A and B are shown apart, each in its own frame.
Chain A
Amino acid sequence: MSQFTTNAAAKAKKHADAQQIVVVEELRKRYGSATAVDGVSFAVHQGETFGLLGPNGAGKSTTLAVMSGLLRPDGGDVWIGGVSVRRSVREAQAMIGVVPQSLALYEDLSAKANLNYFAKLRGVPKAARAAEVSRVLKIVALEDDAGRRVSKFSGGMKRRLNIAIGLLGNPRVLLLDEPTVGIDPQSRRHILDSVRRLADEGMTIIYTSHYMEEVEYLCRRVAIMDRGKIIAQGPVDEVRALAGDSVTLILPTPSGALGNAVDLDALKRSVNVPMEVGSVEMRFLLPQGSRQAPELINTLRDTGVPLDGMRLETPNLETVFLSLTGKALRDHEARENGGESA
C-alpha cells in the first residue's frame, strides 16, 4: 500500500468534520469465500468529485452497493451526512442518488414515464413531480425525447436517462457507477460534461470508472482500488506522482500482429520492467532517463514484432496502476482483445 493510502477516514471524526459528507470506514464485504471489499476507507468532502478507479472486479461496484444501502457490509460502516448506513439505511438513502452500471430502465415505457415512476418511489410530491422530471430531463438534454419509448433510444441516450433518474429529488450525494460503459465518444463527452456541471453546481459526486482519463478529467481526488483494497488515494497530482519519474513507452503495432509474433515469456525474461501487451500496442514502464528504450525496441525487432512507431507518455493514473500492481487498469479489456499483461 502506498504512502498515500492514508487512513484518513478512520482518523476522521464522522460527525465533527462537517466538510466530510461521505465517510467510508474499514468497509468489508464477502461473497461466500471471496472477499470483494477488504477494509476500504476514504472520505469525500462536500461538493467534491471523488474518483474510484480500478479494473473490473476491483470491488468498486460492491463498495457503491454497500454505500447505497443495497448490500449489508460484513464489517465497517459508511456515513452519509453523518448518518450511518448500517444503522439508518433509509435516512442515508434519502440523501443519495444512485446511477447503477446497468441500465436500470423500463424500455417499454417512455423516458417521462420512467422518471415519473422513480420520482414517485423517491417520494417526490405529486405537485412537484412534473417540474422535477423536467429539471432532470434538461440536465441530460433529453427534453425533446421525453415522450419516446426508451426502446427507441440510442445507447448514449439510455445512459443519460439512467443518470437523470439518479438525479431525481436533487440528492446531496450522487454515486455514479461506470456511467459511460459501452457508449460512443460523443455521448461519453456529453455525460462527462453533465457530471462536471453538476459538480460545478456543488453536488458531491463519487465517480467509479476504469477509464483513468475520465477520472482525471472530473476528479480532484482519487482512490485506486485493486482486489478489494485501496492501493493509493489522495489528490490526483499526488497519486500520479506515485509513478515517480517513470515514463510509459508505448509501441503501437498493426492490429492483430502481436498474437503470434511475440514470445511473451522470452520478452519478460529479457525485459526487467513492468509491461503490458494489448492487441494494438505494447506498454513498458521505464524510469525517467532510462536507456532501455533502444534496447527494448531492438529486442522486439529481433523477435520479429512489427512496430508502427513509438511514443512516450508522461505519468498518469494508468501508469500509477501499472507501477503499483504490475498490470493494466483495463487488463480485462486487453485480455478480451487478445492481449496480456505481465
Chain B
Amino acid sequence: MIPLWKSVSAITSQRLRRLTLDGGWVWIALPLAIIYVLGVSMQGLFSTDFTPARPYQVAVAGGDASTSQVIEAMIASPDFFSVDLVADEDDARASVLARRSDAAVIVPPDDAEQPFRVIAPPGSVVLEIVGGVLRKEIEALHGAEDAEAEKASDPNAPPSSQLSSFEYFGVGIMIMFLMFTVHSMMVYSVGDRSSGAYGRIRTLGVSRTAYLVAGYAAAFVVGVIFAGVMALATRLIFGVEWGDPLAWTAVTLAGAAGVASISFLIMATMPPRPKAVESAGSTLIIIMSMMGGSTVPLAVLPSWFADTFAWLPNRIVLDGYFAIAAGGSLAEVAGKVALLLVVALCLLLAGWSISVVRAKGEA
C-alpha cells in the first residue's frame, strides 16, 4: 500500500495526462475562439461610442413636468431615441406589445413617490439604455446625493461597466470553461466506476478516501492550471488586464475550489454513468453561466435578475476578477475569496456525505 499523498499524486497526474492526450488543447482553443467572436460582435455594446443602427422608438406616457424633462432628455439624443407621446400607461404598453415601440416609459405624476418605469423586453439593450437615461434624470430631479446613492446601490455599474467587450468576455468565458474543464476531470472519476477501474484501483490498496481526495485534487489542479493558461493567453491575444497577481491567485484558488466542489456534488448525487454526469454538469454550467453573467453581460441583464443570482459561485468569481481588473487589491476581494471558500467547503461536505452513504457495503 502506498501513502495517501502518493495515491493522490499518481491519480492526479494520470488524469492530467489523459486530459492532455484526450484533445486537451480544445479546452483552450474553444474558449479563446468564443471570446474572439463575442468580443468582436459585442464591441458596440461595451463601447462609449455605441449608437444603435436606428433610433429606438420609445413611447412615453404619464405626468406633468417630469414627462417633458424625460422627453427632452431623449430628444437630445436623436441617434438613440425617437419619442412618441401616448395618452396613458395602457397605450404605452400596447405600443410595445404591438412592436410599434421598442420601449415605453411610464412617468409618475410629479407628486407621486413611485419611480419611473420602463417597459421593454427583459435583458434587451434598449431597456438598459433607456434605464440609463432615466437614472440621469433621477439625478437631475433629486440632486447629486441621491444620484450617488443610486450609483452605489447599482451592483452593475462598477467595475464591469468600464470594461471592453474583450475584457468582459475574456473573464466571463474563462470562468464558464473553467467549470467545464473541472467537470470533465470529475467525469473521469465516474468513468472509472463504470469501467471497473475504480474497483481495480481499490484492490491495489488505495482507500476510498484517497480516491475521492485524488478526484477532487485533480479537478482543482486542472482548474488552476486552466485559469493560469487562459489568463496568459487572453492577456497576450486580447489584451485582457487581470490586475494584481496576488489577488488574482487568491480568487483563482478559491474559484477553482468552489467549482470543483460543485462538480463533486454533481458526481456524488448522479447515477455512476459518465454520460449522465457529463450531461447534468453541462446543463448546469450553461445555466449558471447565463445567470452568472459569463455569457450574457451583467449590464444587459435586468438588475433584479443580476442581483438575484449574485450568490452563484461563478458570479462571485466573476465579480472578484472584475474588481481586481479595476485595480482592486487582495484586501478588497478577501470577502469574496472567503465566501467562495465557505461555499466550496459546504458543497464538498455535502457531496462527501452523499458519497459515504452511497458507498455503504464497500470495504
Contact = CB atoms under 8 A, between A and B. Distances in A.
Interface of A: 31, 65-66, 68-72, 85, 89-91, 93-94, 96, 98, 100-106, 108-109, 113, 117-118, 120-123, 165
Contacts of A65: 199
B197 A105 contact: yes
Contact of A100 (B7, B14, B21, B199): B199
Given A71-B361, A100-B199, A122 B205 contact: yes
B226 to A, nearest CB: 19
Contacts of B270: none
A123 B17 CA distance: 20
A109 B204 contact: no
B75 to A, nearest CB: 64
Contacts of B203: 68-70, 93, 96, 98
Interface string B2-41: 1000110011001001100110000000000000000000
Given A89-B363, A100-B196, A122-B204, 9 more contacts: A72-B361, A72-B363, A90-B1, A100-B200, A105-B195, A108-B21, A121-B7, A121-B10, A165-B200
Interface string B163-204: 000000000000000000000000000000001110111111
B7 to A, nearest CB: 6
A93 B18 contact: no
Contacts of A31: 361
A121 B206 contact: yes
5 contacts: A70-B199, A71-B361, A71-B363, A93-B205, A165-B200
A320 B201 CA distance: 37
Interface in B203-242: 203-207
A106 B196 contact: no
Contacts of B205: 90, 93-94, 121-123
Nearest to B192: A104
Contacts of B200: 98, 100, 104, 118, 165
B60 to A, nearest CB: 62
A20 B217 CA distance: 42
Contacts of B21: 108-109
Contacts of A93: 1, 203-205
A106 B18 contact: yes
A65 B361 CA distance: 11
Query: Which 4 interchain pairs have the tightest Cβ spacing?
Result: A102-B196, A104-B196, A104-B200, A98-B203
Nearest to B360: A72
Contact of A71 (B17, B197, B362): B362
Nearest to A121: B204
Contacts of B201: 118, 121
B362 to A, nearest CB: 6
Nearest to A65: B199
A120 B200 CA distance: 13
B1 A123 contact: yes
Contacts of A118: 200-201, 204
A106 B196 CA distance: 10
Contacts of B207: 90
Nearest to B211: A121
A121 B206 CA distance: 7
Interface centre among B18, B195, B207, B363, by most chain A C-beta atoms within 10 angstroms, is B363
B326 to A, nearest CB: 42
A65 B197 CA distance: 13
A165 B205 CA distance: 14
Contacts of B199: 65, 70, 98, 100, 102, 104
Interface centre among B1, B199, B204, by most chain A C-beta atoms within 10 angstroms, is B204
